[in-house]
Amino acid sequence: MKIFALGKNYTIVCNTKDTRNGFKHTASLCGKSGSSFYETKICYLNRTWERFTYETVLKKTIEENFKNKEKEKYLKIINTITY
């Protein structure tokens, strides 16, 4: 499990789970109170070529939940992560 903070108001909790044919990354978007209000997943059949683990599922979560400047702000945070 890995937790990514998006400022003071949101966090994204990511996990990796095995599937029958490979694995999947899941993400839960949580508000200030800590309760999850959005969940998504991306399934992989084999190795992924992301810059860092969970990059794709993080971007999907942000793009589906935020608009305009807020979306740009959070994508910029994700793009600065290096591992």
**How far apart are the C-alpha atoms of 78 and 59, rounded to whole Å?**
7
- Whole-model pTM: value is 0.89
> Residue 20 in 3-state DSSP?
coil
pLDDT at 69 over 80: yes
Tell me the two tokens of residue 11.
């966090």
Residue ranges per structural domain of the chain: 2-79
**How far apart are the C-alpha atoms of 16 and 2, rounded to whole Å?**
9
**How far apart are the C-alpha atoms of 6 and 16, rounded to whole Å?**
20
Please name the residue that has the structure tokens 């994204």.
12
> Residue 39 in 3-state DSSP?
strand
What is the predicted pLDDT for the residue at 19?
93
Over residues 9-34, the pLDDT tens digits come to 999 999 999 999 999 999 999 998 88
